[in-house]
Amino acid sequence: MRLLLIFPKNERSYWGGVSRSGKAGFLRLGLPTVAALTPGDWDVEIIDARVRPVDYGVRADLVGITGLTAEMPNAYEIADNFRKRGVKVVMGGVHVSALPEEALAHADSVIIGEAELVWSSALDDFKKGALKPIYRAARLCDMKGMAIPRRDLVKREMFSGYHTLQATRGCPFNCDYCTVTAFFGNKFRTRPVADVIEEIKGFDTKEFFFMDDNIAGRPGYARELFEALVPLKLNWGSQASITMAKDPELLRLYAKSGGKYAFIGLESLSQENLDNMSKGWNSAKGYGEAIRKIHDAGINIIGSFVFGLDGDDRDVFRKTFEFIMDNDIDAAQFHILTPLPGTVTYKTLEKEGRIIDRDWAKYHTGEVVFEPRSMTAQELQNGYYWIFRNTYRMKNILKRCLRSPKGVAYRMAVNLSYRKKALKMPEVSLR
């Protein structure tokens, strides 16, 4: 039996695309994990449509597809094409779990929730010719003894961040716009530190990225993990919440263990906005001090900001830009608020009749798909372009990168890669 696992693509997105050298960013672990859960009598192939075109003539008994909301139009196109050729298709992931009925118009079967608990049943049923339309994971899987993703099935030269792994799943918080808690539940799960270290020891490079949503979500676990990483002398990064700045020992170990950078969701400088998105535990007035503490520990910050919240007016872009420059935030990611299915934001905007565009291909956080409250949709779109272009002007990049002699090369590399995204956007002025 031959199983083809496919990651779809979205060429409109500024994030997760393919560089000029033909490489995608970080290797996503979903399908390599599904491959690891597949019994040995299956021949498995993984295709990432971002880096390799899908060949519909290839022999396959079953196709599995998972993708982000913005990749769903391509995912459905791939599914439809295989089904036209008589090949059965199973889909899973966050979007499909939120909207299974929509996915079932394109797939023979959908997996709702984490695949770990139901994948083998789906494969058994398929072999018996009795594939069910829905497989629903009744609970969250235990992270102890988790399957190690089959990285050997993906070509490493196609990814700039090939070594990725997970130490935790979920997040102790539940921000309105985020799919993490909706999908992974509000239970923060951790893998035994020894399992994580064992997996890392199998890597053949000194660099990796934790795909965790919040590596600092449980400080005690994070400290234990970082301590165990120290002797390995590696370089790594992860997403983390700004709450980690409250724990000096955690910061010290983060840096000592090779944690060079952290993606941190600052999101908004308005406490009212943060409170309204259930992120009131982020203290806007404490940002400056928290950033200093993280920098002082030797950790670079890639700050993430979201625009279009109800309290955001046209001034938000200039104020945020000045904050980034004044605080020497090493690099920043910008996102337009996007109502992803399954989130509180989606339900709220849907109820208020403010979703104006349902083309999932535009749900990559770089296009406006809803009616903002305190500015027009065009002002929001232009403001997004303006802050992206301005943050990545060379003089602004240099000012932030030169904040300290340590780590300049790393900061320059990150900034220049984001500058490439910025240069794809139109040059606009703020009115």
Q: Contact residues for ligand SF4 (CB under 6 A)?
A: 171, 173-175, 178, 180-181, 213-214, 241, 265
Q: Given the complex with ligand SF4, which of 174 and 417 has the nearer CB atom?
A: 174
Q: Smallest distance, Å, CB 308 to ligand SF4? A: 15
For ligand SF4, give the closer residue by CB, 213 or 379: 213
How far is Cα 81 from Cα 87, in angstroms, rounded to an integer? 9
Q: H-helix or E-strand containing 5?
A: strand 2-7
Sheet holding 207-210, edge to edge: 164-165, 207-210, 235-240, 259-267, 300-307, 331-336
Name the residue nearer to ligand SF4 (CB basis): 302 or 401: 302
Can you say how many angstroms the Cα of residue 403 is from the centroid of all Cα atoms in its chain? Answer: 28
The distance of closest approach from Cβ of residue 213 to ligand SF4 in the complex, given in angstroms and rounded to an integer, is 4
Report the C-alpha gap between 242 and 266 in whole angstroms: 7
Taking the C-alpha atoms of residue 230 and residue 233, their distance in angstroms, rounded to an integer, is 6
Nearer to ligand SF4 by Cβ, of 160 and 174: the residue is 174
Nearer to ligand SF4 by C-beta: 213 or 367? 213
Give 64 or 366: the residue with its C-beta nearer to ligand SF4: 366
Question: Which amino acid belongs to residue 48?
Answer: D
Closest to ligand SF4 by CB, 175 vs 324, is 175
> 111 and 119 in contact (C-beta within 8 Å)?
yes
Amino acid at 112: I
The nearest distance, CB 331 to ligand SF4, in angstroms, is 18
Strand partners, 265: 304
Cα(416)–Cα(393) distance, integer angstroms: 10
3-state secondary structure of 115: helix
User: Smallest distance from the beta carbon of 278 to ligand SF4, in angstroms?
Assistant: 8
| DSSP classification of residue 1 | -
Closest CA to 413 of 421, 422, 424, 401: 401
CA atoms of 144 and 6, how far apart (whole Å): 27
Give 172 or 298: the residue with its C-beta nearer to ligand SF4: 172
User: Quick check: 166 and 211 in contact, CB under 8 A?
Assistant: yes
Q: Least CB distance from residue 421 to ligand SF4, whole Å?
A: 21
Task: Calculate the alpha carbon distances from 328 to 199, 234, 400 in Å.
Answer: 35, 25, 5
